[in-house]
Amino acid sequence: MSGPNTNYDPVEVTPLSPDEVARMRDEALAAIASARTLEELKEARIAHFGDKAPLTLANAEIGALPPQARAEAGKRVGAARAEVRRALAERTAQLEAERDRQVLLTEAVDVTLPWDRMPPGARHPVTMAADRLSDVFVAMGYEVAEGPEAEAEWYNFDALNFPPDHPAREAQDTLFVAGPKETPAEGGPGGTGGPGGTGGTGGTGGPLSSGRSGGPLSSGRSGGPLSSGRSGGPLSSGRSGGSGVILRTHTSPVQIRAMLSRPLPLYVVSPGRTYRSDALDATHSPVFHQIEGLAVDEGLTMADLRGAIQSFVDAMFGEGLRTRFRPDFFPFTEPSADVSMECHICRGASARPDGEPCRVCRSQGWIEIAGCGMVNPRVLIACGIDPDRYSGFAFGLGIERTLMIGHGVTDIRDTIEGDVRFSRAFGTEI
């Protein structure tokens, strides 16, 4: 074991002298006091209290002193380091407090400011009504079907048994899409290779022909039983500028597409936007929404149709309301009927001699809500369905009208003008 260090170089232990220790301490305290931010204080701590700080290195030199000098030097250096440590702690607390005060000032939240500058939105009432109507029939086992709004005349009229001279096919009722400038003889719509000509819809080898000449839509006869009888096939009516395309006037074309593409038995509802050449007023709009239903199965009768209508009325307007069918005419159904329900406000009491007037039903006791009927066999034949085996029923109603009846809306323009106050009035559910 080595003996005590009696020989040491005074130059090497100069940092341990009282004057030098005091100088290092004062420099450290001055640097700490002058630090104005936590970052500057961190730099001062590293410089004067880190591993390579003068006081730290001086503390390491204590071992070079003789035993009789170590105690005094250790106390001197330890006291200086303790004073620097206290100064660091105090300055850190001061700067952190100052930082917190600045945060409170710069990030203060004024709780008196309005918090609802973005008012809550709401789905449009027509959309909600369409979804609710669809849900009623989906719960009964129906599927939701969709189709294009720009539709071929064949789907919108011919397949639905509208004759070529039906008033609905005139420009005063229907919005037609302009066709290309070329004539049918040059390969335009209705000509060779066009959508209604050879290879087109309903033509030889077309997508709806199932490989048979003329296809199932033509029943084996040139032009098909539902065609206009004019050259160019069922898509060319002569009124649409040769395009054979219109903005659909109802959602019935979706039913035709469903019968052509889906297996039997078939139960579908088709909500969607429709277009007609009507002037905009309180009860009419050129753009409106419909939902139509179709069922095709073996053995369906008017009794099944009446049951479906009654279930719809019970779900939408409340149970206990009577419904009635009155004879009507639609080209695509036979027999046809219009559907009325007992007024859900007065329950028919306003029609009695002593009844109070009712604004909703105009004191008639009944409200007309839909049209319906059994699917015309000619429509089934157009879709390649055997009418001797299958029968079907169809119904349709306006979604805006259902909304107006159920909630007392008196002007259909309220549903299309985009006023958010109208949507918010209904909240998030009808």
Which residues have C-beta within 8 Å of that of residue 80, sequence separation ≥ 6?
Answer: 21, 22, 24, 25, 55
Tell me the HSE value of 192 on the side-chain side, using a 13 A CA sphere: 2
pLDDT > 70 fraction of the chain, expressed in percent and rounded: 80
Name which of 256, 221, 198, 294 is nearest 384 in CA terms.
Answer: 256
Residue 194 above 60 pLDDT?
no
Residue 419 DSSP class: -
Residue 176 DSSP class: B
Which residues have C-beta within 8 Å of that of residue 143, sequence separation ≥ 6?
Answer: 267, 268, 269
pLDDT tens for residues 140-191?
Answer: 999 999 999 999 999 999 999 999 888 888 877 888 888 776 444 444 444 4
Per-residue pLDDT, averaged over 367-381, amounts to 94
Residue matched to tokens 């259909």: 412
* Residue predicted with more confidence, 235 or 26: 26
pTM value?
0.60
Task: Note whether 218 and 224 are within 8 A (CB).
Answer: yes
CA distance 199 to 196: 8
The encoded tokens of residue 147 equal 């189709």
Phi–psi pair at 111, nearest 5 degrees: -75, -10
Residue 399 above 60 pLDDT?
yes
Task: Note whether 241 and 234 are within 8 A (CB).
Answer: no
- How many other C-beta atoms lie within 10 A of the C-beta of residue 51? 8
Name which of 338, 321, 317 is nearest 329 in CA terms.
Answer: 338
Burial category of 95 from C-beta neighbours within 10 Å (exposed 0-12, middle 13-18, buried 19 and up): middle
CA distance 25 to 39: 21
Task: Note whether 330 and 360 are within 8 A (CB).
Answer: no
Residue matched to tokens 């329950």: 347
**Confidence at residue 233, expressed as pLDDT on a 0 to 100 scale:** 39
| Range of weakest confidence among 36-45, 233-242, 258-267, 403-412 | 233-242
Residue 196 DSSP class: T
Between strands 366-375 and 391-398, the pairing is antiparallel
* Residue predicted with more confidence, 141 or 211: 141
The encoded tokens of residue 137 equal 């029939």
Per-residue pLDDT, averaged over 205-222, amounts to 35
CA distance 321 to 360: 15
Backbone φ/ψ region at 362: left (φ over 0), alpha (ψ -120 to 50), beta: left
Task: Note whether 300 and 392 are within 8 A (CB).
Answer: yes
**328 has which bridge partners?**
336
pLDDT tens for residues 64-84?
Answer: 777 767 777 888 888 888 888
| Range of weakest confidence among 42-56, 92-106, 155-169 | 42-56
Confidence of residue 238 (pLDDT cuts 50, 70, 90): very low
* Rg for the chain, CA atoms, rounded: 44
Residue 387 above 90 pLDDT?
yes
CA distance 261 to 255: 10
What CA–CA distances, in Å, run from 426 to 12, 44, 130, 316, 402? Answer: 90, 66, 14, 16, 15
CA distance 361 to 347: 10
Between strands 245-247 and 150-152, the pairing is antiparallel
Residue 414 DSSP class: G
The encoded tokens of residue 289 equal 């929404």
**Confidence at residue 239, expressed as pLDDT on a 0 to 100 scale:** 53
pLDDT tens for residues 403-414?
Answer: 888 888 888 888
**Confidence at residue 293, expressed as pLDDT on a 0 to 100 scale:** 95
- How many other C-beta atoms lie within 10 A of the C-beta of residue 39? 10
B/e letters for 366-381, b = 16+ CB within 10 Å, e = fewer, are bbbbbbbbbbbbbbbb
The encoded tokens of residue 417 equal 């003008």
- How many other C-beta atoms lie within 10 A of the C-beta of residue 271? 23
